[in-house]
Copies of this chain bind each other. A is one copy, B any other.
Amino acid sequence: MAIETIKWVRGRIRIIDQTKLPNKFEYIYCRDLETLWQAIKRLSVRGAPAIGVAAAFGVLLGIQGFKGKDKLKFLDLFYKTCGYLATSRPTAVNLFNMLNEMRDVVAHNPNADVGSLKKLLFKKAMAIFKADQDVCRRMGEHGAKLVKNAMQCLTICNAGALATVDYGTALGVFYSAKKQGKNFSVYSCETRPLLQGARLTCWELLREKIDTTLICDNMAASLMACGQVDIIFTGADRIASNGDTANKIGTYMLAVLAKHHGIPFYIVAPRSSFDLAIKSGKRIPIEERKSEEVTHFAGVAVAPRGVKVYNPAFDVTPAKLITGIVTEYGIIRPPYMKNIKGMIG
């Protein structure tokens, strides 16, 4: 049975509460914007593509209660809704890109009345939802070509079904390779502080009967030195036009280690994760999250009271450390500035 990370169900957004996995499988039903905003903020729904879909659905939540035909009032509500959703998390560009797609519906239909706009926006949100499913499978197909029999792969965080509508980016590559009958194994970095690798990626991969081994993030280097890693796949939260890529903290570490050990390092991300408006990764805002994520676990303090904490949720991997970027259109290779423009510009 497929994992349905996010779904529009009779006027509500149903999401799997990922903060509870792997111990509990529970849905959250978001009937209002605030509930959704909080769910995004605390990572009940996370992963750049899934956040993008959540934002599109969030617009529907925001406008569905609007009564009447006053278009100015409707547009006021619509733009406020978009603006509010945009404040939930700063790094993954899919959020902003999908809100822009929703705004484009309004911009491209200047003469539509409130009723028509509501219908068009609903249609657009469903198209965004559907496109994510399609795009993930296409990335999976392209990426699976890189996976050979007996390969030992490595990934960090969760770039799987739980990070998208239902299939995944980096993990989608593994799912496609598995479907093709390839034998390979995967090391999953646990991904501190919130352990998306341990909690979510291992859960997904075991479900798909993929040979999976969990490691702490600080063990990846040692594995590489022992010749136990043949290829690395990670997702992305934002890719600049020069190929610099923001992704979960620890990704840059893996890229440097991969370079040192001569291991190919691939990003797997859809067009919606690219930010062609910025020239390099230096312009990507990096979310810093609260110190309790590092100092506490399951309510238990693991550090002395009062210690300072640095807790960036993402890092930026320079393009020069990236072997290729797997997209729904194919694999983009250096030089990135030219080839990104060529393939998706």
- Nearest residue (CB) in B for A300 is B298
On whether the beta carbons of B218 and A310 are closer than 8 Å, the reply is no
> CB of A72 within 8 A of chain B?
no
CA distance A173 to B332 in the complex (A): 48
- Nearest residue (CB) in B for A222 is B315
Question: Which residues from 185 to 230 on chain A have a C-beta closer than 8 Å to any C-beta of chain B?
Answer: 187, 189-193, 195, 198-199, 202-203, 206, 211-223, 225
On whether the beta carbons of B256 and A219 are closer than 8 Å, the reply is no
On whether the beta carbons of A252 and B221 are closer than 8 Å, the reply is yes
Interface centre among A218, A291, A298, A310 (most CB of B within 10 A): A218
On whether the beta carbons of B193 and A216 are closer than 8 Å, the reply is yes
Number of copies: 2
> CB of A304 within 8 A of chain B?
yes
On whether the beta carbons of B302 and A195 are closer than 8 Å, the reply is yes
On whether the beta carbons of B217 and A192 are closer than 8 Å, the reply is yes
> CB of A312 within 8 A of chain B?
yes
> CB of A181 within 8 A of chain B?
no
On whether the beta carbons of B304 and A206 are closer than 8 Å, the reply is yes
With contacts A190-B294, A256-B260 taken as known, whether A218 is within 8 angstroms of B221 at the C-beta atoms is no
Main secondary structure of the interface of A (DSSP, over half): mixed
> CB of A73 within 8 A of chain B?
no
CA distance A308 to B152 in the complex (A): 14
- Nearest residue (CB) in B for A156 is B218
On whether the beta carbons of B304 and A218 are closer than 8 Å, the reply is no
On whether the beta carbons of B310 and A215 are closer than 8 Å, the reply is yes
On whether the beta carbons of A217 and B217 are closer than 8 Å, the reply is yes
Interface centre among A202, A297, A303 (most CB of B within 10 A): A303
CA distance A123 to B211 in the complex (A): 55
CA distance A308 to B315 in the complex (A): 28
CB distance from A72 to the nearest CB of B (A): 46
CA distance A238 to B56 in the complex (A): 56
Which of B192, B215, B225, B297 is A309 in contact with, Cβ under 8 Å? B215
A-B contact pairs, 19 of them (CB 8 A): A156-B218, A192-B218, A198-B302, A202-B304, A203-B303, A211-B308, A212-B308, A214-B295, A214-B307, A214-B309, A215-B309, A216-B217, A217-B218, A221-B250, A222-B312, A225-B315, A225-B316, A260-B260, A298-B300
If A214-B309, A225-B316 are given as contacts, then 12 extra A-B residue pairs at C-beta distance below 8 Å, sorted by A number, are A23-B301, A187-B310, A202-B307, A212-B307, A214-B295, A215-B309, A216-B249, A219-B315, A225-B315, A253-B257, A297-B298, A298-B300
